[in-house]
A and B are shown apart, each in its own frame.
Chain A
């Protein structure tokens, strides 16, 4: 994965830039010692690393505004960062960039149960948003698997999803308003505690823009009353096709579970060895969770089981209580850890129409054989968001490149069947160069025109999302203007 050459005029002015930042921030909020900036050299996509020029850790919207004003005036690229859990390289710095981390901005500003929202600073972690309201019976719905660590800022930048979005939607469906600082330091308010936009839906545009349009410092999030209860059922099949057909039949029958998770044999075996959850050894495993009162749960699980039985499952296990539910989820929740214990892996994130599931799984198996790299599949089947995990050996020369080539082929396959490159992780640098497989030059131009309006000098996270060749003219126009 290529990154642009650092701007030598920025590198040569490091001392002045850092001095200017120290004038508006406390000493502890500016990090320029190379031993310390190393902590910011990568995010969750650890294969790519580069220490930034410096890192700044502001505590307020005003400080963020002051930082951006300085960087704007001095022509310094800025890479916004939440908790640094991006799997797509969304927070990967370049040597000429400042990392702007919001991790110290964790306050709850307002909770309002009558109007069902919470307002927080965006450095707050996803899970601790729920933590702030759960005593009152509420929760924040989007639940990415990194929810213990990931920040709301990053969730908004990537429009994060999670296992339960079949019912509750992703970040953009649960975001009511933001305070955002523009690259020139101007502070704007988008949305609020009301439910729809008065003009263009700029809030919807900003969510998922990967830190390229502005830095979001505060967010108003919709909170929901906790359901009375939830319970899963585990269903095993001896083929991926049959499991896929079962998912489709359940959806068509009008049952809308909160989550439908799918694991294939390589993943089941790894999870079983790691977590000993008591999973049956079969080709495909579904975990389907429903919510409601005890009677409602029984009724829905009954309907699901009836449909599932028509497809002759090798195993069907309804959770009777919280303990059994916990055991059913145990393996799934440790899937990524289990795979990590076996090998290095790369986690993909393409989405496909649910109806294409059996075909895509068959093709992935064939491709895996061709490349000689194992692939395990664990994903959100209800919404078609796949997470193929490609296993490789980072210490073996050429293996990473081979893995990336297989990953690119799998993502192209997702696009071919009517899906997309990324369902919830974002483009970052990882899928940047594949954008031409999903979009025409005209499509990409329309998106880049949006960045032209919000960040005319292309200083915010400039080397992400768009293929470097597509954004080259815009990025070099900025350097020439300096």
Chain B
């Protein structure tokens, strides 16, 4: 089998926390294609191995960290193309030099999952990892312009491209974003990037109930003041609204927002860049979930959030996306879905174990379509068995 290991380096090690034998580290798309074509059993696809909850339970490990490097950064066209195994730190550094960033604010899960390793762009795309700014600019899937991947037969497939508007053929780009490696191994991704703002400020309310907080966040998100983050830390009783842009504009909008939401009490405006960074990193990475207990991620209609959250019985709750995303920490082994019943949305067990599947089971019609796609793209069931599909 043409598995290529890193030249001259130490033998590849299975990342900590993962079982299974290390298949090797591929260092080119062709090598990846040959490796997949020669597989005789299932594999878990791994980049930095920092989001392993979604990559299934069985099989050897296929690492793409050898597929590394930025292949194009066209700052004037707001585009970046990178191989799937490229470290996030490398991408962020290159963008930073041009005053740009990944606007969807990908979550760093290392704290929550207690793992080491370096997040890679392929893993971020596979998980559609999107932070607080999702409410304003969209999710990772909204910034993904193109993918190249190897399917279960070893075919190299390209879809989308590097331009912002592209409706040529079916959008497999969206299909792969958030597919948790269930359909193929991504080799390269192409992303839209955005300029970094000049200034940031947060308007912070204290002591609101969860229902009041969601109402305040809805009021803010329904205003013309371009709120780029709306989160509520239930334990600390802190409700945070983020504003970004030109300096004077941020100050103006903070004032307007405070006035608009005066019925929710007095607000404090935080303008220190470092303090803002820490505040929103804590939301993005769900830092208040701590290190113990099971953690679930609930996606819901924002208005339903307070009632749903109350039903979780959680001992720590964090609302992001104006209430559209709830992080809940519950006792080990809790089947949160059983507690919540039916609602518009779904729940994922991000940390913990138990009989309940990690991902929410789908309605029969959707499950049939998903299984049909899996059968076409990965007919031998090689990729991440026991994961999303």
The answer to whether A and B assemble together is: yes
Contacts of A422 in B (CB 8 A): 166-168
Chain-B contact segment, one of A29-37, A69-77, A94-102, A203-211:
A203-211
| A188 nearest in chain B by CB position | B365
For residue A465, give the distance in angstroms from its CB to the closest CB of chain B.
Answer: 7
Instruction: Check A192–B167 contact: CB distance below 8 A.
Output: no
The chain A residue with its CB closest to the CB of B137 is: A169
Pair B167/A159 contact, Cβ less than 8 Å? yes
Within 351-379 of B, Cβ neighbours of A (below 8 Å) are at: 359-360, 362-363, 365-367, 369-370, 372-373, 375-377
Query: A207 is contacted by which of B74, B164, B171, B248 (Cβ under 8 Å)?
Result: B171
- Which residue of A has the minimal Cβ distance to B197? A254
Inter-chain CA distance A195–B221, complex, in Å, is: 14
Smallest distance from the beta carbon of A481 to chain B beta carbons, Å? 18
Q: Does A239 contact B (CB under 8 A)?
A: no
The stretch of B4-12, B15-23, B75-83, B280-288 that contacts the partner chain: B75-83
Interface status of A416 (Cβ within 8 A of chain B): no
Q: Do the beta carbons of A204 and B299 come within 8 Å of each other? A: no
B-contact bits for A178-204, CB 8 A (1 contact / 0 none): 000010001111101111111111111
- Cβ proximity bits B123-147 to A, threshold 8 Å, 1 near / 0 not: 0000010100011001101100000
C-alpha spacing A86/B188, complex, angstroms: 33
Interface stretch (choices A13-21, A112-120, A271-279, A332-340): A112-120
B224 touches A439 (CB 8 A): no
Report the count of interface residues on A (CB-CB < 8 A).
94
| Interchain CB contact (< 8 A) of B376 among A186, A431, A449 | A449
A420: chain B residues within 8 A (beta carbon): 161, 163, 166, 168
Q: Are B179 and A200 in contact (CB under 8 A)?
A: yes
Are A351 and B345 in touch, CB under 8 angstroms? no
- Distance (whole angstroms) from the CB of A446 to the closest CB of chain B: 5
Residue of A at shortest CB range from B374?
A200
Residues of B within 8 A of A354 (CB): 74, 76-77
Chain A contacts of B99 at CB under 8 A? 252, 254
Q: How many A-B residue pairs have CB under 8 A?
A: 266
**Which residues between 295 and 317 of chain A lie within 8 Å of chain B, taking CB atoms?**
295-296, 299-300
Q: Is B341 an interface residue (CB 8 A)?
A: no
CB pair A424 B165 closer than 8 Å: yes
Which residue of A has the minimal Cβ distance to B176? A201
Given contacts A200-B179, A300-B246, A420-B161, contact A173 B138 (CB under 8 A): yes
Q: Is the CB of B369 within 8 A of A418?
A: no
Cα A158 to Cα B171 with chains together (Å): 11
Distance of B227 from chain A, by nearest CB (Å): 10
Using CB atoms, name the residue of chain A closest to B345.
A194
Checking A115, A351, A352 against B303 with a beta-carbon cut-off of 8 angstroms, the contacting residue is: A115
Interface membership of B174, Cβ < 8 A: yes
Residues of B within 8 A of A44 (CB): none
Is the pair A198, B169 in contact by a Cβ cutoff of 8 Å? no
Please give me the residue from chain A that is nearest to B157 by CB atom.
A446
- Docked complex Cα distance between A380 and B377 (Å): 35
Asked if B196 lies at the interface with its beta carbon under 8 angstroms from chain A, I say yes
Task: Tell whether A450 pairs with B172 under 8 Å between CB atoms, given A256-B195, A418-B161.
Answer: yes
A427 touches B138 (CB 8 A): no
Q: In the complex, are the beta carbons of A200 and B388 less than 8 A apart?
A: yes
Judge whether A442 is part of the interface by a CB distance below 8 angstroms.
yes
Q: How far is B345's CA from A209's CA once the two chains are assembled, in angstroms?
A: 24
B233 at the interface (CB under 8 A from A): no
* A-chain residues with CB within 8 Å of residue B249 when the two chains form the complex: 292-293, 295-296, 299
A115 to chain B, nearest CB (A): 5
Closest to A197 in B: B178
Known contacts A423-B166, A427-B168; decide if A254 and B198 are in contact (CB<8 Å).
Answer: yes
Q: Of B169, B174, B183, which is in contact with the most chain A CB atoms at under 10 Å from its CB? A: B169
Contacts of A251 in B (CB 8 A): 76-78, 195
Q: Give 1 or 0 for each of A440-452: 1 = CB within 8 Å of chain B CB.
A: 1011111101111
Instruction: Please state if A116 and B178 are interface contacts (CB–CB under 8 Å).
Output: no
Q: Does A384 contact B (CB under 8 A)?
A: yes
Least CB separation from A296: chain B residue:
B249
Instruction: Verify if A372 is at the interface (C-beta below 8 Å from B).
Output: no
Task: List the A side residues contacting B223 at CB < 8 Å.
Answer: 225
A426 to B128, CA, bound (A): 26
A11 to B138, CA, bound (A): 47
Question: Contact mask B239-257 → A, CB, 8 Å, 1/0?
Answer: 0000001101100110000
Shortest Cβ distance from A339 into chain B, in angstroms? 21
B325 on the interface (CB 8 Å rule)? Answer: yes
A253 to B344, CA, bound (A): 41
Bound state CA distance, A112 and B303, in angstroms?
A: 10
Q: Which residue of A lies closest to B142 (CB)?
A: A173
Q: Does A385 contact B (CB under 8 A)?
A: yes
**Which residues from chain A contact B79 at a C-beta distance below 8 Å?**
353
Q: B165 and A165: CB pair below 8 A?
A: yes
Question: Is B47 part of the contact surface with A, judged by Cβ < 8 Å?
Answer: no
Nearest chain B CB to A216 CB, angstrom units: 14
Check if A161 is an interface residue, CB within 8 A of chain B: yes
Cβ contact within 8 Å between B222 and A114: yes
Q: B194 — which chain A residues lie within 8 A by C-beta?
A: 256
Residue B206 CB within 8 A of the other chain: no
One digit per residue, 1 when the CB lies within 8 angstroms of any chain A CB and 0 when it does not, for chain B 152-189 equals 00011111011111111111111101110011000000
Give 1 or 0 for each of A243-261: 1 = CB within 8 Å of chain B CB: 0000011011111100000
Task: Enumerate 5 A-B pairs (CB-CB under 8 Å) in ascending A order.
Answer: A203-B174, A208-B170, A425-B167, A446-B151, A450-B373
Having A253-B195, A446-B157, one finds 15 other A-B pairs with CB under 8 Å, namely A115-B303, A116-B222, A188-B365, A193-B301, A199-B388, A207-B171, A254-B99, A295-B248, A351-B164, A354-B74, A424-B167, A442-B155, A443-B157, A446-B377, A453-B372
What is the interface of chain A, defined by CB distance below 8 A to chain B?
112-116, 137-138, 158-159, 161, 165-166, 169-170, 172-173, 182, 186-190, 192-205, 207-209, 225-228, 248-249, 251-256, 292-293, 295-296, 299-300, 351-355, 380, 383-385, 418-427, 431, 435, 438-440, 442-447, 449-454, 465
Name B residues whose Cβ lies closer than 8 Å to a Cβ of A.
74-79, 98-99, 128, 130, 134-135, 138-139, 141-142, 151, 155-159, 161-175, 177-179, 182-183, 194-198, 215, 218, 221-224, 226, 245-246, 248-249, 252-253, 299-303, 321, 324-325, 344-346, 348, 359-360, 362-363, 365-367, 369-370, 372-373, 375-377, 388-389
Going nearest first, the 7 A-B pairs with the smallest beta carbon separation are A204-B174, A198-B346, A254-B195, A248-B76, A423-B165, A453-B372, A194-B345
